[in-house]
């Protein structure tokens, strides 16, 4: 039950509802994902907002919407990355479950994406900030990985190759393939300190690993943002 509860956050998705209303999905500092009905034009994405929420059901009534900053417009890769973040939050985060670390990381990524176009190593910088977001999100969702042991709780061996299973962990396999992970790369994550940049090897590992984990969690419906990003890259 919420009663004139003040929420701070961002619009992550909206759709038309009846004549002059919208169903909006917010990502908030106080309660994580909150859904509701807004009887006015939805705010732009990627801009901090304040809103009042009232209601017992999963769909709250949102009133007194305030936009707290100047508009932010993303182009090119930053546009697709922002779309990706919002889609992942919408699909993976439970309703009304606070995600303080993910919220903080989301705010940081939005600032970093504004710098992307002028960055000397834009492609590397983008991979870095997306992997850091996924790292925090998956940990807070309860999918933190122990990089030191395999599925049988044996120490990960640098010379061994592994398949990753979401519910079991790293399973040793006889030979390497495109989908396997190198034991030395897995072990490289043991030196990682929270909040630091990933090394080149760690980025290589996490790109494969987190894509697989997020795909498993999403089930049969692939991400639209990823499909659009790939189409755009090809054209």
pTM tops 0.75: yes
Degrees, nearest 5: CA angle 131-223-57? 100
Q: Would you say residue 227 has pLDDT above 80? A: no
pLDDT at 23 over 90: yes
| Helix ranges (DSSP H) in the chain | 76-92, 100-113, 122-140, 183-188, 200-218, 224-234
Residues 56-94 pLDDT 10s: 999 999 999 999 988 888 988 999 999 999 999 999 999
Whether the predicted pLDDT of 226 surpasses 90: no
Q: Which of 178, 168, 63, 71 is nearest to 114 (CA)?
A: 71
- Mean pLDDT in residue range 142-146: 93
Residue 136 has pLDDT above 80, yes or no: yes
- Kindly indicate the confidence band of residue 235, based on its pLDDT and cuts at 50, 70 and 90: low
> For 29-57, what is each residue's pLDDT tens digit?
999 999 999 999 999 999 999 999 999 99
Mean of pLDDT values over 115-138: 94
Taking Cα atoms as reference points, which of 119, 102, 98 lies closest to residue 32? 98
Q: Binning pLDDT at 50, 70 and 90, where does residue 132 land?
A: very high
Helical axes 224-234 vs 76-92, angle rounded to 10°: 160
Residues facing 5 on adjacent strands? 53
Could you give the domains of the chain?
Answer: 2-67 (2.40.50.140), 76-234 (1.20.1440.120)
How far is residue 48's CA from residue 141's CA, in Å, rounded to a whole number? 23
Give dist(CA 106, CA 136) in Å, integer.
Answer: 10
What is d(CA 117, CA 74) in angstroms, rounded to the nearest whole number? 9
- At residue 70, the pLDDT reads 82
What pLDDT does 55 receive? 94
Reply yes or no on whether the pLDDT at 231 is more than 90. no
3-state secondary structure 37-106: EECCCCCCCCCCEEEEEEECCCEEEEEEEEECCCCCCCCHHHHHHHHHHHHHHHHHCCECCCCHHHHHHH
What are the tens digits of pLDDT across the range 164-217?
A: 998 899 999 998 888 899 999 999 999 888 888 999 989 999 999 999 999 999
């Amino acid at each position: 039950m919420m009663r004139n509860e003040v929420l701070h956050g961002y619009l992550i998705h909206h759709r038309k509802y009846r004549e002059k209303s919208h169903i909006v999905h917010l990502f908030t500092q106080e309660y994580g994902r909150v859904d509701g009905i807004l009887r006015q034009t939805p705010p732009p994405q990627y801009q901090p907002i304040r809103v009042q929420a009232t209601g017992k059901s999963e769909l709250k009534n949102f009133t007194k919407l305030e936009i707290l900053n100047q508009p932010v417009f993303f182009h090119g890769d930053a546009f697709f990355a922002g779309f990706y973040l919002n889609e992942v939050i919408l699909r993976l985060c439970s309703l009304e479950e606070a995600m303080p670390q993910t919220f903080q990381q989301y705010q940081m990524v939005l600032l970093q994406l504004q710098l992307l176009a002028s960055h000397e190593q834009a492609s590397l910088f983008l991979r870095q900030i997306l992997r850091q977001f996924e790292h925090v999100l998956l940990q807070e969702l309860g999918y933190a990985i122990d990089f030191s042991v395999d599925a049988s709780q044996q120490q990960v061996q640098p010379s061994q190759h592994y398949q990753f299973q979401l519910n079991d962990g790293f399973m040793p396999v006889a030979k390497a393939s495109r989908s396997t992970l190198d034991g030395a790369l897995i072990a490289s994550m043991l030196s990682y300190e929270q909040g630091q940049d990933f090394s080149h090897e760690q980025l290589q590992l996490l790109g494969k690993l987190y894509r697989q984990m997020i795909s498993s969690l999403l089930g049969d419906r692939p991400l639209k943002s990823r499909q659009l990003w790939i189409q755009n890259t090809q054209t």
